[in-house]
Structure 1
Amino acid sequence: MHPIFEFKGLITDGIYSMAKVEWWLLKYTDEYEKTVEIENKLHWYEFEDGSKSRLPSFWKPSSEVGFINLFQELDLISEFYKEENKIEDVLKEYYAVKNSGPKLNKWILEYEQLGKGKYFNFLISYLDYEGVDDIEHPMVFIHSMDDFPIYIEKNDFKNTIEFGNIFL
């Protein structure tokens, strides 16, 4: 079975759990690496000076490119998922100091760059749907599969979302 078809079969009530996403990523890591290696050898143009450049395909992306894009985007959101426990600890620190001016200031100084950087980007990348006001679940968008929105269970990112919202 093609990895994309198998991934599509992991959906439950229109939502993917990160446990299933993580399983899929683990199962297809080797195939992803082999596919990237093969795709990287295609579409090369050699210039007169001997230098080479990979040119994008002007046709509809192949299923292999779709697989690569899907894997990469799921791997990106997976990195946030892997930090959920760490962010839960950061939030516990926040709630312990949020009513204490000097301690809160120290906490903000320690985590502001992370909150306004990486975690703000999470909110923008996965929770800022164009034209949708009632956002329920993080959405992973795959450019080569724009007819296939991937909604991830919001509870899998409870701490990530809460932490990012502190710095909005």
Structure 2
Amino acid sequence: MNDVQNYIEELKQLSKGNLRICRMNWWLLKYEDEFKEAINQTSCKKWARWLYKGEHPYPCVCPKRDNLCVFIDLYRELDRLTQIQHLENYFEEKFNNFQVIKDSGDAIMKWMRDIRPTISEIYLTLDKNENLKVRFYNSDPILEVNINKSDYKYTLLCLDIFNYNMYVRGM
């Protein structure tokens, strides 16, 4: 399992520029067995409890993370991003619906009620330059993967619309 650093390096090479969803899916599929094996080999039992018992894995508080844990966390985060990307058609439809009703306060309120359960399950990390990133600070060196934002176009638009109406307009 010492190869996890090579798996991570391969992903970093794939993400030069920005990681596209097709490359992300390919990498996840390629290393699926290694991901499960890493969970069984790591000394941190939170991953086994997450995978086999469905327990929520709390953030790592280790001063320096084990490479197995970095690989597991990276794999899990990329898998989560692919699940969000599967919602892109849903968000495109919601965005198009919003364009039709954007001048009606009542219709916007209904739109927000409809989209809220899905929006509340999504979080995406954007840096100060509005780039989509996966970043782990407690790895050595800091692990950062840039994700192609265009694969999340409508998701990000709907998040912006929802947040603006919820927190700026107070709807």
TM-score using structure 1 length: 0.72
User: Tell me, which stretches of 5 or more residues in structure 1 are unaligned?
Assistant: 45-55
SS of the residue 2:40 aligns to: helix
- The reply on whether 1:103 has 2:107 as its aligned counterpart is yes
- The reply on whether 1:78 has 2:82 as its aligned counterpart is yes
Determine if contact 2:135/2:145 at 8 Å carries over to the other structure: yes
Change (3 A) 1:70 1:101: closer
Corresponding residue of 1:63: 67
SS of the residue 1:7 aligns to: helix
Change (3 A) 1:81 1:28: same
The code of the aligned residue for 1:151 comes to N
- Counting only pairs closer than 5 Å after superposition, residues 126-141 of structure 1 correspond to structure 2 as 126-127=125-126, 129=127, 132=128, 134-135=129-130, 137-141=131-135
TM-score using structure 2 length: 0.71
What is the distance in 1 between the residues matched to 2:97 and 2:35? 39
Corresponding residue of 1:118: 121
Corresponding residue of 1:154: 149
Change (3 A) 1:144 1:19: farther
The code of the aligned residue for 1:21 comes to M
Q: CA RMSD of the aligned region, Å? A: 2.5
Change (3 A) 1:107 1:59: closer
SS of the residue 1:167 aligns to: helix
What is the distance in 1 between the residues matched to 2:142 and 2:93? 37
Aligned residues: 144
- Displacement of 1:43 in angstroms is 5.9
User: Tell me, which stretches of 5 or more residues in structure 2 are unaligned?
Assistant: 46-59, 164-171
- Displacement of 1:113 in angstroms is 4.2
Identical amino acids, percent of aligned pairs: 25
